[in-house]
Copies of this chain bind each other. A is one copy, B any other.
Amino acid sequence: MLDATVHRQLLREASLRVTAPRLAVLRAVDEHPHADTATIIAAVREQLAGVSHQAVYNVLAALTEARLLRRIQPPGSTARFESRVGDNHHHVVCRSCGAIADVDCAVGKAPCLIASDDHGFAVDEAEVIYWGLCPGCAAVQRTP
């Protein structure tokens, strides 16, 4: 609610029409960082019943294209989205339950790492995924 005007402004600045589904998606992703598509659809429908899943997919694609959202997809998981963009931060992912947390990038702007040999590729970003166990899953493994 508080951010609705901010969200409108973000959409305008990206030359995107302001629609109820888009505002609902922006709010849902704000409130559920790193959520998968199914979770986002459910959260959107709590605000706005009857939104089609196709609309949510369209909106997520459009907002990702416009760099208002960032799409992350750890191997073995479905697509997830976050609204924190522009600071080139990274993620730590739990191998057991799939939980995701943000990790600040020490450099802050991409690419934060330089490849030892880039094979002639024009590299513009270095994405880092830290793999491990979240505190909860680590505790379960120690005392099974």
Which residues on A are within 8 Å of B, measured CB to CB? 71-73, 75-76, 79, 90, 92, 94, 101, 103-106, 111, 113, 115-135, 138
Q: In the complex, what distance in Å separates the CA atom of A75 from the CA atom of B79?
A: 8
Contact residues in B for A131 (Cβ distance below 8 Å)? 123-127
Contact residues in B for A92 (Cβ distance below 8 Å)? 115, 118-119, 121, 123
Contact partner of A115 (CB less than 8 A), chosen from B94, B103, B117, B118, is B103
Q: In the complex, what distance in Å separates the CA atom of A128 from the CA atom of B127?
A: 6
Contact residues in B for A105 (Cβ distance below 8 Å)? 116
Task: Report whether B132 and A129 are in contact in the complex, using a CB–CB cutoff of 8 Å.
Answer: no
Q: In the complex, what distance in Å separates the CA atom of A121 from the CA atom of B123?
A: 29
Contact partner of A118 (CB less than 8 A), chosen from B103, B106, B118, is B103
Q: In the complex, what distance in Å separates the CA atom of A98 from the CA atom of B40?
A: 28
Task: Report whether B121 and A130 are in contact in the complex, using a CB–CB cutoff of 8 Å.
Answer: yes
Task: Report whether B104 and A121 are in contact in the complex, using a CB–CB cutoff of 8 Å.
Answer: no
Task: Report whether A122 and B113 are in contact in the complex, using a CB–CB cutoff of 8 Å.
Answer: no
Task: Report whether A122 and B138 are in contact in the complex, using a CB–CB cutoff of 8 Å.
Answer: yes
**Can you list 15 A-B pairs, Cβ within 8 angstroms, ordered by A?**
A71-B75, A92-B115, A92-B118, A103-B115, A103-B116, A103-B118, A118-B130, A121-B133, A121-B134, A121-B138, A123-B132, A124-B132, A125-B131, A126-B131, A127-B130
Task: With A73-B76, A121-B94 as known contacts, state yes or no: A130 contacts B115, CB within 8 Å.
Answer: yes
